[in-house]
Amino acid sequence: MVEAKVRKQYNQMAAMYDRLWSHYVSNTLSFLKDWAKISSTNVVLDIACGTGEFERLVLVEYPTQQIVGVDLSEKMLEIAQQKCRAYPNVSFQNATASVLPFAECSFDVIVSASAFHYFDDPIAALTEIKRVLKPEGEIIILDWCKDYLLCQIYDIVLKIIDPAYKQCYTQTEFHCLIVNTGLEIHRATRVRFGLAWELMIVTARLGQ
Ligand SMILES: C[S@@+](CC[C@H](N)C(=O)[O-])C[C@H]1O[C@@H](n2cnc3c(N)ncnc32)[C@H](O)[C@@H]1O
């Protein structure tokens, strides 16, 4: 199962993750934070939160923001917990995106960064996201975009060498998954970070 491989890989990488990926993580998560324009009163869920860098960025601006992070990797979560230990309004849980341990209509904003390409069952994850989102809430997903040549190459190579990797999507495929789950796309774009990284972001809401 892909999830067991993801957990193993990120448990092994956790101690080095922030150092290895610092440039990528700070660029992508700053972009996500600016795009999301989260209000300080929003209750936020971060799916596949990793080492809690998004939480750290948000808390610098809004120290009382209520945020819950979930991730498959216990070791990534330990680092996130350590980073955010001064903030009682922030919590972390070990869970998969496809079975979220929350009641319906719990969150104003749900974000997920650089993780959708690991999701074994993206429709199950989107269905869960939809279930726990409040009626007026927003979902913001940032991930690699297969419209770009480099991502097409990463996709081919990672499918061969990385057992945890599932696949990345073109913007059209990604939007189809979202719309087929009954969500409406509100805002979307593609974005490059330096020469190596080409991503897409979408803000979606519950359909009428
Ligand atoms: C590249 S890291 C991104 C972490 C963080 N979002 C960031 O931008 O720094 C991918 C994370 O996704 C998590 N992940 C992958 N598949 C997942 C799933 N199905 N449910 C929850 N977490 C998952 C991994 O454990 C890992 O921490």
Q: Which of 1, 10, 132 to mutate to test the pocket of ligand 1 (most atoms within 8 A of CB)?
A: 10
Contact predicate 64/89, CB 8 Å: yes
pLDDT value for 105: 98
The residue assigned the tokens 């869970």 is: 95
According to DSSP, the residues that pair with 141 across neighbouring strands are: 112, 202
The dihedrals phi and psi of 62, each to the nearest 5 degrees, come to: -125, 85
pLDDT value for 15: 98
pLDDT value for 2: 84
How far apart are the CA of 40 and the centre of ligand 1, in A? 24
Query: CA-CA distance, 180 to 198, in Å (whole number)?
Result: 24
Amino acid letter for position 80: A
What is residue 102's three-state secondary structure?
A: coil
Q: Which of 18, 114, 166 to mutate to test the pocket of ligand 1 (most atoms within 8 A of CB)?
A: 114
Query: Chain-centre distance of CA 68, in angstroms?
Result: 12
**DSSP secondary structure, 27-64, as one string:** HHHHHHHHHH---TT-EEEEET-TTSHHHHHHHHH-TT
- End-to-end CA distance of the chain, in Å? 35
Q: Which tokens go with 76?
A: 């990534």
What's the average pLDDT block by block, 10 residues per block, for the chain (208 residues)?
93 98 97 97 98 98 97 98 98 98 98 97 97 98 96 97 97 98 97 93 92
Number of domains making up the chain: 1
Q: Domain of 78: which CATH number?
A: 3.40.50.150
Ligand 1 contacts (CB < 6 A) are 3, 6, 10, 25, 29, 48-50, 53, 70-73, 76, 96-97, 113-115, 118-119
For the chain, the maximum distance between any two Cα atoms, rounded to a whole number of angstroms, is 44
pLDDT value for 134: 98
Contact predicate 133/110, CB 8 Å: yes
- Domain of 138, in residue numbers: 2-206
pTM confidence score: 0.97
Query: CA-CA distance, 198 to 190, in Å (whole number)?
Result: 7
How far apart are the CA of 119 and the centre of ligand 1, in A? 9
Amino acid letter for position 126: L
pLDDT value for 195: 86
Contact predicate 36/109, CB 8 Å: yes
